[in-house]
Structure 1
């Protein structure tokens, strides 16, 4: 392993992890969540925890939120966690209400998801994403993603799956890579989650590197929000392709994923009504992140997928796909019209 290169990269990542577009308790919870990801990669690649320890110490101790719990548990894999990793005595924040922008976006996404619903679909064979299968799905769906044919690495991990949230990154000496947890999925879900969603994350970083930009810009903070919005665009397009090909199980997976993102926001009416555990425990601390999964994709759609954090070639490729598919798919066309109207 590139020892010095690895430690320099971990130091850079730990600094980037604390740059978040939020303030107060949300910012502290977000920083802890990000540093948990740096700690995850420290374990995966055999690095020293010094960069993470230094940043945690600089936060003044007492970390809030579920990300802080993951951070402490991950740090224990590298030896006894220093006292600065102790939990903060901070109650779960009050629910952030749905704003008008989120409400409009959620309505449009819900309508699109409903258009994909085709009743309960039987599961196919349930298989592990490890031992190269997740990686093969990423390669297999490169043409469907349509934003570049990039090399990538997938590395299996024995860490408990609940310690992995964002498991994708970009190593300067290796390129885009992904950790594969002990996760079992049916093949259609693996097609969408790995072949499309995770594949888009890796392509996004590779595209930035190809144009001379820093891939780490989309791993944390504002850039991560853009990257998650972009991968949802990929899922939406996959839903349209599945409808045109009659792949009802894939349609159901896309629809379920869209609904789950809306439910993540603790202020969404559906989450409030159901008392959703994930939204309350994870995203009550991170309302900015929760909103990005809802309004973020609609913002990209309305602006022809242009962002300073998305390579021009990627934006143009996605716009071409969208325009081509919406000629055949009315729901996709209505979604873009609704997104554009919401920006006016």
Structure 2
């Protein structure tokens, strides 16, 4: 596929409403409690709302409204959702006035900090970023190169860097949602069944960075959607999805550095550094022997992720878990292809070998390890994600 079109999406109002209500309910099943669960649920609703806007059918918004209304009136209802609620309300306003029962943008409250394991893994990843050095480019190229600035072109370019590239998706215009986008990959209701989609919206960043985001990171998500029918857009499934996409970025960094693609390797490295800096509490933390990557990471913040320590941490911890060999919750083919590429990269990269070994040591099973609980309101919808193999990716904070 890959065509820039909405023609593959459903035009049936009943189907759109059922889809939106179902996805909004699944979005409440998050591996967290309290304020973190509220912020995570609201963020998920924002992504469902983007899907409603892409479909362009009023009935889709009606299905979303039904779930938000029902959730808000219960004792465990969501009242505030922080920055995610601002994005949710902006997207919902595309349909008309935002109903009064929608969460507000105030802080949802205090959340528990990440633990020592996450910080040790941040230090490990930062050390890896400092150690990776691009080789001289034999042909003078630095990676990326000029090319068409479109979602389709970026995804095609990124196939070289993704272990299991797929073209089983459609691309839909997203310019109308400028400033309201975060997760641009999703599974939408099509005329003949579910459709994997990328919302093609511009981001005000350098062209090669956009190529990395779309062609490698978002492309990895689309590959993941194509490889599984399980739940990977919300809750524990999203932890597995971000773990995989970040592992793909890490493999691409080592490969591009080995080929001398200096500019591309630089952007991929900076992406890993940014994910370290986005972990809540990073700016307030001091590290012994702080190197360049940790210092660079202090430049980055992601206010929408600040009340989401479990999700923020998995961009670091989940990727390292995969690269250390734990493929639980990942489709067999994705894991097999990822491991093959990573082993080949490790054969020529001492920093990659060191990263693998030390991550394995940090992630050795602990008798105290246990998964984070589902939020109270999510217990009735937890069955929607059971059996998807994502339980292993409920991040430990210890």
TM interval, short-chain normalised? 0.7 to 0.9
Once residues 160 and 9 of structure 1 are traced to their aligned partners in structure 2, the CA distance between those partners, rounded to angstroms, is 20
Equivalent residues in 2 for 1:289-304 (5 A)?
A: 289-302=311-324, 304=325
Equivalent residue for 1:116? 132
Distance of aligned partners of 1:200 and 1:275 in 2 relative to their CA distance in 1, 3 Å threshold:
closer
Structure 1's unaligned 5+ residue stretches are: none
The answer to whether structure 1 residue 2 and structure 2 residue 23 are counterparts is no
Instruction: Say which SS state the counterpart of residue 94 (structure 2) adopts.
Output: coil
Equivalent residue for 1:311? 331
| Residues 117 and 252, structure 1, Cα contact 8 Å, conserved in 2 | no
Equivalent residue for 1:285? 307
Structure 2's unaligned 5+ residue stretches are: 1-9, 73-77, 135-141, 287-294, 365-398
Q: CA RMSD in A?
A: 2.7
CA offsets 1:251-306 (integer angstroms, 9 cap, x no match) = 11011101110110122256789986734x2222111111111211112222x251
Counting helix residues as a fraction of each chain, which structure ranks higher?
A: 1
1:76 pairs, out of 87, 93, 110, with: 93
Equivalent residues in 2 for 1:22-41 (5 A)?
A: 22-41=32-51
Once residues 269 and 81 of structure 1 are traced to their aligned partners in structure 2, the CA distance between those partners, rounded to angstroms, is 35
Once residues 10 and 169 of structure 1 are traced to their aligned partners in structure 2, the CA distance between those partners, rounded to angstroms, is 12
Once residues 284 and 147 of structure 2 are traced to their aligned partners in structure 1, the CA distance between those partners, rounded to angstroms, is 31
Once residues 202 and 15 of structure 2 are traced to their aligned partners in structure 1, the CA distance between those partners, rounded to angstroms, is 28
Instruction: Say which SS state the counterpart of residue 177 (structure 1) adopts.
Output: strand
Q: Which has the higher contact order (CA 8 A, sep 6+)?
A: 2
Equivalent residue for 2:396? none
Compute the displacement of 1:168 (Å).
Answer: 0.6
Equivalent residue for 1:104? 120
Once residues 324 and 155 of structure 1 are traced to their aligned partners in structure 2, the CA distance between those partners, rounded to angstroms, is 35
The TM-score normalised by the length of structure 1 is 0.87
Equivalent residue for 1:179? 199
Instruction: Say which SS state the counterpart of residue 301 (structure 2) adopts.
Output: helix
CA offsets 1:134-178 (integer angstroms, 9 cap, x no match) = 212212322431214332211121234331111111235363211
Compute the displacement of 1:11 (Å).
Answer: 1.9
The answer to whether structure 1 residue 65 and structure 2 residue 87 are counterparts is no
Instruction: Say which SS state the counterpart of residue 147 (structure 1) adopts.
Output: coil
Distance of aligned partners of 1:201 and 1:207 in 2 relative to their CA distance in 1, 3 Å threshold:
same
The answer to whether structure 1 residue 50 and structure 2 residue 72 are counterparts is no
Equivalent residue for 2:238? 224
